[in-house]
Amino acid sequence: MKKYFLRLTSFCLMLMVFVPLSYAGETSDQTIRVTFVNHAQIDIYQKPEIVWRHVKEQLAEGKGFVEQGFVLTPLDDDPAAFLGGYHMIQKKDGQVVDERNAYVTEMDPENYRFSIFADYLPAAFGALKVNAHYRLVPIEGGVRYELDAYSRMSIPKPSGTDAKAQVAKIVQDTTKGADAYLANVMADTKKVTEALTK
């Protein structure tokens, strides 16, 4: 198989994914689609409404991405964004390094949960598509902040008798890297929200 490099991409909490060094489209005879699944959670000892407001602003409303240097444009003319959504783009030295459309697909304040679908636009991301579900589960003295993410992208088709083993290794390594990153993001969210007073 072609060599890969581990590239940090971010949908809401950011995912580490293996991206081909040379890649030119979503589907072809040389590529296959694979799915990465990530789960993360952390207990936060803060009022549920305070944590809810923070994560909703950071992710569903995109404030956290603006803080990372993205330029956001609401998808006001896109009927698919009936619950909200935004186009987001980030450039470095005049070149686009990240571009996506993010759609809010679920918003349930009563049960402290929402979902977002992200469609990555550059082919360099292997036509990455991510469905992420966020929820707060009440616990004694606070909430358990949980995330489930399902990411699907194209990678070069493996060859040889160990093709499945090659793909399994890519998925395993990528999932492990993303899990570690998400654990750090969760820890940062805990630190920030537990320090909030209102």
Identity of the residue numbered 150: Y
Shortest CA distance to 53 belongs to which of 97, 109, 119, 104?
Answer: 109
SS3 140: coil
| pLDDT tens for each residue of the chain, 198 residues long | 333 223 333 433 344 333 333 343 455 678 899 999 999 999 999 999 999 999 999 999 999 999 989 999 999 999 999 999 999 999 989 888 889 999 999 999 999 999 999 998 866 567 889 999 999 999 999 999 999 999 998 888 888 889 999 999 989 998 999 999 999 999 999 999 999 987
Give the span between the Cα atoms of 145 and 60, in whole angstroms. Answer: 15
Residue keyed to tokens 């009936």: 82
**71: CB partners within 8 A, 6+ apart:** 88, 89, 90
User: Is residue 137 exposed (0-12), middle (13-18) or buried (19+ Cβ within 10 Å)?
Assistant: middle
Quick one: DSSP state of residue 144? E
How many alpha carbons lie under 13 Å from residue 30 in its C-beta half-sphere? 9
- Structure pTM? 0.83
- Specify the fold of 25-194: Alpha-D-Glucose-1,6-Bisphosphate; Chain A, domain 4 (3.30.530)
Residue keyed to tokens 């697909």: 105
Distances (CA, A) of 141 to 46, 108, 111, 186: 7, 22, 17, 18
- Tell me the β-bridge partners of 111: none
- Tell me the β-bridge partners of 99: 89
Give the span between the Cα atoms of 181 and 8, in whole angstroms. Answer: 9
Residue 2 corresponds to which tokens in the numbers above?
A: 């072609």
Phi, psi values for residue 72, rounded to 5°: -105, 140
**95: CB partners within 8 A, 6+ apart:** none
User: Is residue 76 exposed (0-12), middle (13-18) or buried (19+ Cβ within 10 Å)?
Assistant: exposed
